[in-house]
Amino acid sequence: MTENGVPILQLSGVSKSFGAVQALTKVDFEACAGEVMALVGDNGAGKSTLIKGIAGIYRFDEGEVLFDGQPVHIHSPRDAAQLGIEIVYQDLALADNLDVVANMFLGREVLQRPFRLDEAAMEESALKTLDSLSVTTVRSVRQAVAELSGGQRQAIAVAKAVMWNSRLVILDEPTAALGVAQTRQVLDLVRRLADKGLAVVIISHNLHDIFEVADRITVLRLGQRVNLYKTAETNQQEVVHAITAGKLEHVPGMASL
C-alpha cells in the first residue's frame, strides 16, 4: 500500500526476454486508483514491452502480477479487458470510415433484437461517456472519425477505453502527434480519468507533459526500473539523469539464468 491510493495493478519482479535480448529484468511496477503513473525511459528501455505484458499480448517470463491484490494471469487481450484494463495504443486503432459511436462500440456493439444494432442505446451511452469526460469539442457523435482533428481522435480513443467499467487505462504516447492546444485537452482528459478514480498509466517522451499530469514517475532504463519518483518531490533534471544514467541493479542486456 502506498499513500497514493489503493494499488489496482502491481507487478513484482517481471522479466521478459526475446531470444538473447533481455527486454525487462525483474521490474516492479504499480498503478493506483485515482493516480496518474508516468512510465518514462529512452527508446528500447522496455516501456512498450511492459505494457504489452500487462495487455496480454506478451507473457512475462517470470514475476508476479497482482490485480486488486489477487494474483492473475493475463494471457490475451481479452483477459485484460475482462479485468478492466484498457489500452489506448499510440496508433489509435480507430476506423476512420466509421462514426464516433461505431468506433467507441467496435467489437462490443449493443444489439436490440437478435441481429439488429441498437444505435440509439449506443449513441446515448457514447454521449454520456463523452459528457462525463467533459469532451465537448466533438460536434456530432455521428460524424466519421476521419472528420476529426488529432486531439478529438485521441479524446475518442480515450473515451472508448473508459466506457467499459475499466479500472486501469494505459495510454501509449497520447500526445505525440498533437499540437499545443490539443495536447492541453488530452492532458486535462487524462487528469479527469484519474479524478474519476481510475488508475491511469501514461507513457510519454515529453517530460513537460509528464510533470503536468502525473502523480508519480517510473523510470525504466535498459529493461530495469531505475527509479520511482513522486512528481512533487523531483524535477526534470533528476528524471532526465535517471533516464540516461540511472543506476542499474542487474547486469543489463543478458538473459539471467
Ligand X SMILES: Nc1ncnc2c1ncn2[C@@H]1O[C@H](COP(=O)(O)OP(=O)(O)O)[C@@H](O)[C@H]1O
Q: Which stretches of the chain bind ligand X, using CB under 6 A?
A: 18, 21, 23, 41, 43-49
- List 21, 66, 127, 177, residue binding another protein (CB under 8 A): 127
- Could you tell me the smallest distance in angstroms from the CB atom of residue 55 to Mg ion? 13
The reply on whether position 204 binds Mg ion by CB under 5 A is: no
Taking CA atoms, 100 is separated from 34, 140, 187, 188, 238, in Å, by 27, 8, 20, 20, 41
Residue 142 contact partner, candidates ligand X, Mg ion, another protein, none, CB within 5 to 8 A by sort of partner? another protein
Closer Cβ to ligand X, 39 or 141, answer by number? 39
The reply on whether position 54 binds another protein by CB under 8 A is: no
Q: Which of residues 31-60 bind Mg ion (CB under 5 A)?
A: 48
The reply on whether position 141 binds another protein by CB under 8 A is: yes
Residue 43 contact partner, candidates ligand X, Mg ion, another protein, none, CB within 5 to 8 A by sort of partner? ligand X
What is the C-alpha to C-alpha distance for residues 3 and 110, in angstroms, rounded to an integer?
Answer: 39
Nearest to 227 by CA among 29, 95, 82: 29
What is the C-alpha to C-alpha distance for residues 149 and 136, in angstroms, rounded to an integer?
Answer: 13
What is the C-alpha to C-alpha distance for residues 28 and 216, in angstroms, rounded to an integer?
Answer: 14
- DSSP H or E segment with residue 39: strand 36-40
What is the C-alpha to C-alpha distance for residues 222 and 42, in angstroms, rounded to an integer?
Answer: 8
Residue 146 contact partner, candidates another protein, Mg ion, ligand X, none, CB within 5 to 8 A by sort of partner? another protein
What is the C-alpha to C-alpha distance for residues 198 and 32, in angstroms, rounded to an integer?
Answer: 8
- Could you tell me the smallest distance in angstroms from the CB atom of residue 194 to ligand X? 22
For 24: left if phi > 0, alpha if psi spans -120 to 50, otherwise beta; the answer is beta
Q: Could you give the 3-state DSSP secondary structure of residue 5?
A: strand
Q: Which residues pair with 111 in a beta bridge?
A: 117
Residue number closest to Mg ion, CB atom:
48
What is the contact surface with Mg ion in residues (CB under 5 A)?
48
What is the contact surface with another protein in residues (CB under 8 A)?
77-78, 81, 89, 91-98, 102-103, 106-109, 111, 115-117, 119-121, 123-124, 127-128, 130-131, 134-143, 146-147
